[in-house]
Amino acid sequence: MEPHEQLLQWAEAKGVKLDGIAPQRLPGRGMGIVATRSIQPDEILLEVPARCLRSIETVPKSLSRRLPRDISVHGLLAADLALDSTDTYAAWNAVCPTPADFASMPLHWPPALQELLPGPARALLARQRAKVERDWAAASKLFLSSSSSSPSSSSPPSDANGDDDDDGTEKKTEGDATAAAADASAKKQRFIQAWLLVNTRTFYHESPRLRRRTKEDRMVLQPVADLFNHAGSRTGWCHVAFDAASFTVRADRRYAAGDEVRICYGRHGGDLLLVEYGFVLGGDDDDGDESRSSHDDDGNENGWLEENCWDEVGLDDVLLPRLSDSAKDKLSEVGFLGGYVLDAGTVCYRTQVALRALCCLEEEWRRFIEDGEDGDAARQGDVDRVFAGLLEEYRTQTIRKTVAKVAAMDGEEEGKGESSGKNSSSTKAQRELLCKRWRHVDRLVRITVKRLKGETGMNKTH
């Protein structure tokens, strides 16, 4: 029997109900959920009773009492996943991604490649790393203490894949510094693997205990529901809801047998999806060739943006280096320094403010902030021209050069990093993912340049 069939057997015995759907392996997406018959809008496709959740409530006391009281729920669940040596969740663990599957996560990329991520993705990665390190700092004592291998059993822990090569207790007593360092590193890697599982598979939930936590930390794991992939279109994803008794997933529309059924992880742009989930949505058939006129350029319904309608491009790297120190001070005073973005249809108001700090007189700039964009229509054309120039330069000087640099990198050089995916095929996949992300950035920038040049003013902000 396939692991996902065993998971279903285990989950259904615990009260999980699937109706008209089943897990299936899908090319390029790992596991996913597909319709097994035609489905009508509003049908309940999945019910996961609260007793099946893996949560702060299910972490054994033998583990939680040995961790700091203020450890995040994320850290606690990761420690539980990494150190659980019982077979309670064996059927569930067997369908979870392996460390090799997580080679696509930028956290595991070689530093040379991480440095070439778009600015917002680099910032997200730095925040993610800080969270991992904070949680590891809280959990590491337990992992590294000699008797800590398995708080809930006397046998050594095994990870989700049965890759049980960790005999930490013995190594530590050898007094061998090298072996101890390798052991510590392996334990940290195991923790990070579990941390990423939690990061990519949890659902927002509220229980009395979770309500005492920050919103960001109100997370639970649920079996089977964690096999739904993400849809980034405005429509075309099922509704997920919970109450005290259960989670339910309800069909948003009709599905034919064989259609993939997805949910929406949130209104996430491409940088976030890449850093937090390790994938990039949307086609990749565009090499930036200006001579080809693609319907995608207008972001119309059939284009690539349909697949990730919430995609956006961070512009801090475009604008901040252009601003003088005094312009930055002024922007900072009014709360508009940084955080500049554009999407397929709009350029954010913060960007408009920063652009005027670049190319308008101070009184015009102040009037714009006070009156909003409508008070400044006469200057909009000049601002658009300057902005289009900056974006075109960004395309030639940053985007294209970065894509060329990534394409020219070879796996051996990258392998010097601390990547978990050191073999050349995984680093090639990492490079392709990064290039794909940059090509999407390029397309959004190109769409904006066209609009700036083709219209008298940018009348949309967000």
31 lies in the binding site for ligand SAM (CB under 6 A):
yes
201 lies in the binding site for ligand SAM (CB under 6 A):
yes
Among 200, 248, 398, 448, binds ligand SAM (CB under 6 A): 200
Smallest gap from residue 202 Cβ to ligand SAM (A): 9
What's the token pair of residue 4? 């996902």
385 lies in the binding site for ligand SAM (CB under 6 A):
no
Binding part of the chain for ligand SAM, among 82-90, 164-172, 183-191, 272-280 by CB under 6 A, reads 272-280
311 lies in the binding site for ligand SAM (CB under 6 A):
no
DSSP codes of every residue in 371-431: H-GGGGHHHHHHHHHHHHHHHHHIIIIIIHHHHHHHHH--HHHHTTS--S--SHHHHHHHH
124 lies in the binding site for ligand SAM (CB under 6 A):
no
Q: How far apart are CA 249 and CA 237, in angstroms?
A: 10
421 lies in the binding site for ligand SAM (CB under 6 A):
no
326 to 365: interface string for ligand SAM, x by CB under 6 A? ----------------------------------------
Q: Which is nearer to ligand SAM, 124 or 357 (CB)?
A: 124
Q: From residue 234, how far is each of 72, 82, 264, 267, 309 by CA, in Å?
A: 32, 36, 10, 9, 6
What's the token pair of residue 136? 């590891």
What's the token pair of residue 47? 């019910």
230 lies in the binding site for ligand SAM (CB under 6 A):
yes
277 lies in the binding site for ligand SAM (CB under 6 A):
yes
DSSP codes of every residue in 222-286: -TTGGGPPB-BSSS--BEEEE-SSEEEEE-SS-B-TT-EE-B---S--HHHIIIIIS---S----
Taking CA 96 as the corner, what is the angle to CA 54 and CA 423, rounded to the nearest 5 degrees?
140
Decide: helix, strand or coil at residue 192.
helix
236 lies in the binding site for ligand SAM (CB under 6 A):
no
Q: Closest residue (Cβ) to ligand SAM? A: 30
Q: How far apart are CA 172 and CA 146, in angstroms?
A: 7
Smallest gap from residue 24 Cβ to ligand SAM (A): 10
What are residue 361's phi and psi, to 5 degrees? -70, 155
Q: How far apart are CA 170 and CA 66, in angstroms?
A: 21
440 to 459: interface string for ligand SAM, x by CB under 6 A? --------------------
399 lies in the binding site for ligand SAM (CB under 6 A):
no
Binding part of the chain for ligand SAM, among 174-182, 222-230, 372-380, 446-454 by CB under 6 A, reads 222-230
281 lies in the binding site for ligand SAM (CB under 6 A):
yes
Q: How far apart are CA 106 and CA 83, in angstroms?
A: 24
β-bridge mates for residue 313, sequence order:
342
279 lies in the binding site for ligand SAM (CB under 6 A):
yes
93 to 112: interface string for ligand SAM, x by CB under 6 A? ----x---------------
Count of residues of this chain found to bind ligand SAM when the rule CB under 6 A is applied: 15
Smallest gap from residue 308 Cβ to ligand SAM (A): 9
Contact residues for ligand SAM (CB under 6 A)? 29-32, 97, 200-201, 226-227, 229-230, 277-279, 281
